[in-house]
Structure 1
C-alpha cells in the first residue's frame, strides 16, 4: 500500500505549482480524479509526510555552544558567525511548511468526496482516519512554522504566520497579514482536537469493546472492519498518541519565557498536555530503561517490524540501510569526515558519576584526568581522547601527540577542531572503508518519550515547584531522578536531593538534563532561544581542548575554537526577505 502512495506523492512534488491548482496540458487529470481513485487522493496527503521537517543528522547543533563543524562551507557555521539574515536563513521553514499545508488543505477540502470503499461504513472510517491524519499533520507543520518564524515585531506584537486553512488557487489573495502567535497556537490546538476525535490512539489489533464510542451506534460494525482501517498495518502514520505529543510541544513553546508575554498558555496547561502523553505509558514507570541509546546496534533496531516503535520512541521514520552518518562523522582514521565536533562546553556540562557538576566542591573532578568517573552519557555520546570507535574498536587519539589525522586540527576539513568526535546517533558496526562499505539499519527518532518527560519536568517545575504534582502522581523531581538513574548517576544522587526544594536550581538542572539527553538531535538551537537566555550565552565562545603528552603524563590546555555573532533580535528567526518584499501586509520580526 505504501509504495504506490510514495510514487504518487513524488509525482505531485515534481509537478509545477500551478499544476496543483489546474492540470497542465500534458496531464489532463485534475483534482476531481481523486474522487474515484483513493490512491491518487492519498498521494496528495502523502506529500505532507514527505515534507516532514525532521533531520536524521545534527544540523543546527553546530550553530550552538554544543558543537562546531569542520566544514568551513557549512551554512549553520556561517550563520552562527554573523551571516544570518532574512535573505540567508538556513533555519527557514517558510516554504516547506507552507507547501505541506497547501497539500493538506487540498486533501481536507476533497476527502469526503473520495470513494474510499464501496461499503459506506468502511468509506466513512477511511475518510475519518485520513482527515484525522491531515489535521494532525497540519498542526505539526504549523508548529514548526512558529518555531522558525514566530516573533515580536517593532510595534510590540507577538506574531505567528498567516493562517491558511483553505486550498489556495491562482486567484487567491496572497497578501495576508500574519496572525498573532496566540491565534496560531489556538489553530494548532483546534487541529489537534479534530485529529484526536478522528484518529485511534494507536494502530493495533482491536476487540469489539475497543471500538471508539464515536462509532458505537453503527449497526453491524465489527472489530475486524474497524481494524481494516485502523489496524497494525497503518503503524507509522499520524496517530492520536503522536498528536498528543505535538500538542504538548506547542504548549511548551507558548509557555516559554520568549513567548509567554504574548500568549495565554500557562505552565500548568503545558504540564498537563505532556502528562496526557506520559500517562499513556504509565507515567515515570514508563521511562524506557535503555532509551538513552535508542540508536545503537543492541537497541532492537534489527528486530523492528514495519511501523513498530521501541519503548523510547513515540514516532520514528522508516528504517533504512545506510552509512551516511558514520561516513560524515567518524574520525578520519575510520574513513570518516569528522564533521560534527562536540564542544568542551558540552563536555563540561556532563556531571560526575555521583551527579555533582564538575564545578561543585563535592564532585571529585580532576582536571588532570577529566574523563574519569564522569556521567556515563559522556562517553556514550562523545568520542573523547583515547576512547574507542568503529567496528574494530580502534583507539582514537585526538591529542596533539596523535600520529594520524584524528589529532586535533591535523587536516583541515577532516580532523576535529575541538578535540572531540561525535558518537551519538552513530552505529559502531558500520564500516565506511571503501573496501567494505558496511552499512546498517538507522532511523530518525522524530519524537522521543524522553523529550516529553523533560517537557513535563520543565513545565511542572514552573507550575508547581520541583516536587509539586498538580493533578498527577509524579513531579519534576520524580522525572529528573528517573532520567539520571537511567543514565547511571550513582550514590543516591546527593546533588539532586540538595536542589529538590529550590525552583531556580531545579530549573537549571532540568535545562541541563535536556541539553544532555537531547544533544545532537536539533533541539538546543531553539531551546536556548525559547528560554530567552542571556545574549552572552547565545554568543558563548565554543571551546575545545589540546591534549599534549610529556612522558607518561597528559596535559590538557583549553583552546578557543569559534566565536558566535548573534544579535539581540536573533532570539526569533526572520520572515524570509523575499516574502516581505512581495506582500505589503506581511510584517517582519523586529531587528531583521
Structure 2
C-alpha cells in the first residue's frame, strides 16, 4: 500500500494459493494451485477466487485466532507470554513504539485487498447481479476493517481505492466522523445487496445489519443500534444454538450453526490456524490466563452474585453451583483434563493466575502438545446471535429504559438449554441505570474471552475504573494508559507518512 512492491504483493497474495473451484461453496475447498496474474479476471471463477483472497485477510492478527487475545487488554485476563505486549499496555505504558501492529497493519492489509478487488472486479465477465453481490461482501469486510481502526485510533487515513504510487498513499487522516460516515455507506450497500439468508461462510444481510448495530452502539446512537439489532432478531434467520454453549466454539458444530452471524473460516488440512493454533496456545501453554476478577463476576446458579445475601456461595468450594458458563469458559483449579489413556493432562508451565481459557479448547483433541497436536481449523466467531440480543438490550434500555423486550432479550440468552440461569430479577434491575449495569455484566459473562471486552470498555469509558482494582501476578497495579481513549500511531508509520499527524497526547 505504501510502496510499489506492496501494491504488487497484494495482487500476488490475492491470487497465489487461491481456489480453482467455481462452485458456490468455494470457501469450503482447500487451496490446490496457484494461477497466473496475467490470465486473471477472465472468468466468474476468477472473481470468486479474488474474493476468497480478500476473505483470507481475516486469518491474520485480531481477525484470526489472535482475536481472543484482545481480552488480555482488559480486566478479563492476562497474556502470560505478552504476545502482543499487553503486559506493558495494561500497566499504562502506551507510546508510539510499543503498539502491536495487529491494531493497524492487519486492518490496512485487509483494506488494501478489498480495494484491489473492488478496483478490478468489473473486468470479470460475471453478471451484474453477481458482481454486486461480490462487491457487497468486499465492502462489508472493508467496513469491518475500518471500524476496528476507528475503535482503536479514532480518525485514520481513508483509502477508497488503492493508491497508484508511493506518494499517493501518503495522505492526512480523515476525521473519525468521516470514517464512520463511510462505514455506514459501505454497510448500507452491503445490506441492500447481500443475500438475506443464513450464514455459511460468506457475509449475508444479517452480518451487515449486526455490524451496523455495533457501529451505532459505538456512536451511542441508541435508537439506530436498537433498530438494526432488532432487524436481525425479527429477520428470523438466526437463533441461539441449543446444542451446548461450549460447543459453539468447536469445529464439529460450527458448520451451519444458527447462532453464528459472521466468522473467520479455516479448513484442515491445508488451511488451518496460523502458528500453533488455539489448542496448543490455550490448552497446553495456558497463554490466556483469566483473572480472579472475571471468575468472581459469574453468578451463583440461583442468579445472585457471590457477595449477595442468600447466594449460597461457599469460599471452600468456590466453583460449585455457579453459572454454567464459568466452567464452559474457564478451566478452574479443581478441574482436570483427562487424556485418552486415562492419565491427567498437565499444561507445559504453571498457570500464573491458576486459571486458563477453556472456551475454544477442544478436549477431544487431548493431549495437547506442540509437537503432536494437529493444527486446528476451528472458526473464530466475530458476531453471533447472543451478541445481537445483548446489543439490542443495551441500546433499547438506553433509548427508553427497561421494557419487556429488553428483559426478553436477556432472558433468552440466560435460558438457553445448556445454561438455564434464572430470569433477570425485574424487582431489582428496574431502572435504566441498574439494568445498564446488569446488561454490561451479562455481556461480559456471555462473551468472555472472545475478544470483545477491550472495545466494550473503551466505548463506555470504563477502562480506567475496571483496570484500577487489579494487579498482575507480579503484583504490579493495572492502569489504562491511552490518551483521549485512543492508541498512538506507531512511530514507524508517522515517519513513513509525514502527512499523518500523531494522536493528541503522544
TM bucket normalised to smaller? 0.7 to 0.9
**Compared CA separation, residues 395 and 381, structure 1 to 2 (3 A):** farther
Match of 1:368 in 2: 316
Q: What is the deviation of 1:456?
A: 1.0
**Compared CA separation, residues 387 and 20, structure 1 to 2 (3 A):** closer
- 8 A Cα contact 1:295 1:427, kept in partner: no
**Compared CA separation, residues 31 and 194, structure 1 to 2 (3 A):** farther
Match of 1:355 in 2: 303
Q: Which moved more, 1:518-527 or 1:34-43?
A: 34-43
Long gaps (5+) in structure 2:
17-34
Match of 1:59 in 2: 69
Q: In the alignment, is residue 289 of structure 1 matched against residue 203 of structure 2?
A: no
Q: In the alignment, is residue 163 of structure 1 matched against residue 158 of structure 2?
A: yes
Match of 2:480 in 1: 566
Q: In the alignment, is residue 95 of structure 1 matched against residue 105 of structure 2?
A: yes
**Compared CA separation, residues 180 and 173, structure 1 to 2 (3 A):** same
Q: In the alignment, is residue 141 of structure 1 matched against residue 145 of structure 2?
A: yes
Secondary structure, counterpart of 1:358 in structure 2: coil
Secondary structure, counterpart of 2:336 in structure 1: strand
Q: In the alignment, is residue 302 of structure 1 matched against residue 252 of structure 2?
A: yes
Q: What is the deviation of 1:432?
A: 3.2
- 8 A Cα contact 2:280 2:373, kept in partner: no
Higher Cα Rg: structure 1 or 2? 1
Match of 1:8 in 2: none
Q: What is the deviation of 1:273?
A: 1.2
Long gaps (5+) in structure 1:
1-11, 117-122, 151-159, 205-234, 256-265, 331-335, 397-403, 407-412, 468-473, 545-559
In angstroms, what is the RMSD of aligned CA positions? 3.3
Could you tell me the TM-score, scaled by structure 1's length? Answer: 0.71
Which one of 379, 392, 408 corresponds to residue 478 of structure 1? Answer: 408
Distance 1:441 1:171 in 2: 37
- 8 A Cα contact 1:319 1:442, kept in partner: yes
Q: What is the deviation of 1:198?
A: 2.3
Distance 1:438 1:462 in 2: 46
Higher relative contact order (CA 8 A, sep 6+): 2
Match of 2:132 in 1: 128
**Compared CA separation, residues 587 and 476, structure 1 to 2 (3 A):** farther
CA deviations over 1:184-237 (Å, ceiling 9, x no partner): 111111111112222212379xxxxxxxxxxxxxxxxxxxxxxxxxxxxxx412
Which one of 119, 133, 142 corresponds to residue 109 of structure 1? Answer: 119
- 8 A Cα contact 1:87 1:577, kept in partner: yes
Q: In the alignment, is residue 385 of structure 1 matched against residue 328 of structure 2?
A: no
Count of aligned pairs between the two proteins? 471
**Compared CA separation, residues 281 and 296, structure 1 to 2 (3 A):** same
- 8 A Cα contact 1:329 1:338, kept in partner: yes
Q: What is the deviation of 1:518?
A: 0.9
**Compared CA separation, residues 373 and 181, structure 1 to 2 (3 A):** same
CA deviations over 1:374-404 (Å, ceiling 9, x no partner): 11111221122222324459798xxxxxxx9
Q: In the alignment, is residue 311 of structure 1 matched against residue 258 of structure 2?
A: yes
- 8 A Cα contact 2:414 2:420, kept in partner: yes
**Compared CA separation, residues 95 and 568, structure 1 to 2 (3 A):** closer
- 8 A Cα contact 1:329 1:339, kept in partner: yes
- 8 A Cα contact 2:92 2:482, kept in partner: no
Please identify which structure carries the higher strand content: 1
Could you tell me the TM-score, scaled by structure 2's length? Answer: 0.83
Which one of 420, 430, 439 corresponds to residue 365 of structure 2? Answer: 430
